[in-house]
Chains A and B, each alone.
Chain A
Amino acid sequence: MSKVGARRLEPAAITGVMSREVANFRTFWKATTFSSVLEPIIYLLAFGLGLGATLVDRVNGLEYVEFVGTGMVATAVIFSSAFPSMFGTFVKHRFQNTYDAILAAPVDVEELVTAEVLWISLRAGFYGCFPLIVAMGFGLDPSFGMLLVPIFAFVTALGFSGFGIATAATVGKIDHFNYVTTLVITPLFLVAGTFFPIDQLPDGAQAVAQLNPLHHLVELVRHSAFGFESTDLIRFGVLVVFAVAMWRLAVNRMEKRMID
């Protein structure tokens, strides 16, 4: 046996927890991939071709299918990070007692949360790119800037998976996720600028939208496809701050939940 160290965030502990996630993921990757490919196709058919062909022609100089196709990366990222972290954490903690087993090994809560956040974000970073690839099939031109999209998606997913874990460690019952979905996730998803531009909203709503990490992801992805702007570094900075803040919140909430 190798020696277990006392220092924080040991790579062996983090990769050990992630190896458990990989082992489990091997049993359901087909279903995840299926929905990750099909959902953007359905959305693009409904919004891009349906709405775009009938009501909306161009938005901010872009074909509507290009507008929605790039925006939908954010939808894929929040859905593939916030929900798995909320429900996955709750189930593993309360129903399967998985975390009790892991924390009986030389792994602490910070390492456990970090591994979970990293794994979910890697997945979300990968699957978050699928709408972009699907959109290319609908006419979106590829660009070199798009190579940065997995990074943008990954960093945003760090924040939302941290948020999901913190939520799971806070709510009393699994049904309470309905409040979070209705009051937090749905508004964030709708006012991110995915389906309509934020600049058409009232000034107050526009200001609030600037606090929405998903909006910054939407803008970064669009700019990666159609040309970066000077504010993009600030947008990326906002996502990094969001990621770090949610990671620490998740660690804090889980420590309170897991250690008696």
Chain B
Amino acid sequence: MNAIEMRGVRKAFGEITAVDGLDLDVPAGICLGLLGPNGAGKSTTMRLLTGQALADEGEINVLGHSLPAQAKIARGEMGVVPQLDNLDVDVTVEDNLSVYARLYRVKDVLQAVERSLERARLTNRRKDAVDKLSGGMRRRLLLARGLVHEPKLVLLDEPTVGLDPQIRTELWSLIDSLREGGSTILMSTHYIEEAQRLADEVALMTAGKIISRGKPSDLIREHAGTETAEIYGPPARLAEVRGKAEAAGFRVRSAGPAIAIVGSEKAENGVVPEDAVRRAASLEDVFVLLTGEEAE
């Protein structure tokens, strides 16, 4: 059974088409990473799924409820963790949680708050105002708030954007425990590592469409082979190597100060220089090749 079904969904804002004929199924119980560059249409897709944006065309079904008509019922069964911190900063940690427990019609608000405090590891800070918390604590609270009603489906919109690596790792383990608990998760991200570490499947999105989808390992094998060779050097040399590789039918991408020859395991003598750094092909290679965007 699919938790989410989107068929031919289109959403435009004036001249800009944010979502362009999107077809997306998310089976129950998996974590699907919606990976794409900024402006790919990920956040609009999330808003369409909560009924906060209305599709111009197409059909959307969430947890068996047809949107937008049954959006409110669907929202009651899903949890949303937004990209931006919109906690009530003057209010205590536990009040932030109890307000949302009420909004989600939780019967035992106190129990839900206790459970969420434990999940966010903030039990000892329950009486503190949110503006007294560190950035990492606020993110954990934001996540716990979205899960206060134990939703069947969780929408994570760029859950770690702008966070430092330590907080990001902390949040990943929280999301991972959620995934292990059997929740269905749709997570939009433009961080490759995040998608690779957390998602059972990744859907690559660009210009409002899904351009490829599969398990990270399958996507890598399909689009990038097994090995990538990175070559560093002055621009003139890189241009020469790129020319040779492309002439031999290889796909070459920029990789910061280097160039990367994708699928280099198939290269004949002379295409990949001796001093190249050979590494396993990655989801980043797939992302850059398919979207044409630099990875983050």
Chain A interface residues (CB < 8 Å from chain B): 1-6, 12-13, 15-17, 19-20, 23-24, 26-28, 96-98, 100-108, 258-260
Contacts and interface: CB of A to CB of B under 8 A. Distances in A.
Contacts of B52: 100, 103-104, 258-260
Contacts of A102: 103
B99 to A, nearest CB: 4
Contacts of A17: 103
B165 to A, nearest CB: 25
Given A1-B106, A4-B72, A98-B88, 17 more contacts: A1-B149, A2-B107, A5-B73, A19-B98, A20-B99, A23-B96, A26-B91, A27-B90, A28-B90, A96-B88, A100-B86, A101-B100, A105-B76, A106-B72, A106-B104, A107-B103, A260-B53
B285 interface: no
Interface of B: 11, 13, 44, 47, 50-54, 70, 72-73, 75-77, 80, 82, 84, 86, 88, 90-92, 95-96, 98-100, 102-107, 129, 145, 149-150
B50 A16 contact: no
Given A4-B73, A105-B100, A260-B47, A23 B107 contact: no
A229 B44 CA distance: 57
Please list the 7 inter-chain residue pairs (A to B) with the smallest Cβ-Cβ separation, ordered nearest first. Answer: A4-B76, A106-B76, A260-B53, A97-B86, A104-B80, A2-B105, A16-B103
A31 B107 CA distance: 34
B115 to A, nearest CB: 13
A259 B103 contact: no
13 contacts: A2-B107, A3-B76, A5-B73, A23-B88, A27-B91, A101-B100, A103-B50, A104-B52, A105-B75, A106-B76, A107-B72, A108-B72, A260-B54
Interface of B is mostly: mixed
Contacts, number: 106
A101 B86 contact: yes
A97 B88 CA distance: 10
Contacts of A20: 88, 99, 103
Contact of B99 (A2, A16, A104): A16
Contacts of A28: 90
Nearest to B70: A6
Nearest to B71: A108
A106 B91 contact: no
Most buried by A among B98, B104, B107: B104
Nearest to B76: A4
A241 to B, nearest CB: 29
Interface of A is mostly: loop
Most buried by A among B73, B86, B107, B150: B86
A19 B86 contact: no
Given A20-B88, A258-B52, A259-B54, A106 B99 contact: no
A96 B107 contact: no
Nearest to A27: B90
Contacts of B11: 260
Nearest to A101: B86
B157 to A, nearest CB: 10
Contacts of A15: 102
Contacts of B77: 4
Given A20-B88, A98-B86, A260-B53, A106 B73 contact: yes
Contacts of A12: 102, 105
Contacts of A23: 88, 91-92, 95-96, 98-99
Contact of A24 (B13, B86, B91): B91
Given A19-B102, A20-B88, A104 B50 contact: yes
Given A101-B86, A104-B52, A260-B13, A4 B99 contact: no
B49 to A, nearest CB: 10
Given A16-B99, A97-B82, A103-B52, A2 B106 contact: yes
Contacts of B98: 19, 23
A98 B95 CA distance: 15
A34 B75 CA distance: 40
B82 A104 contact: yes
A156 to B, nearest CB: 28
B106 A106 contact: no
Nearest to B129: A27
A3 B73 CA distance: 8
Nearest to A258: B52
Nearest to B142: A101
A102 B86 CA distance: 10
A68 B132 CA distance: 45
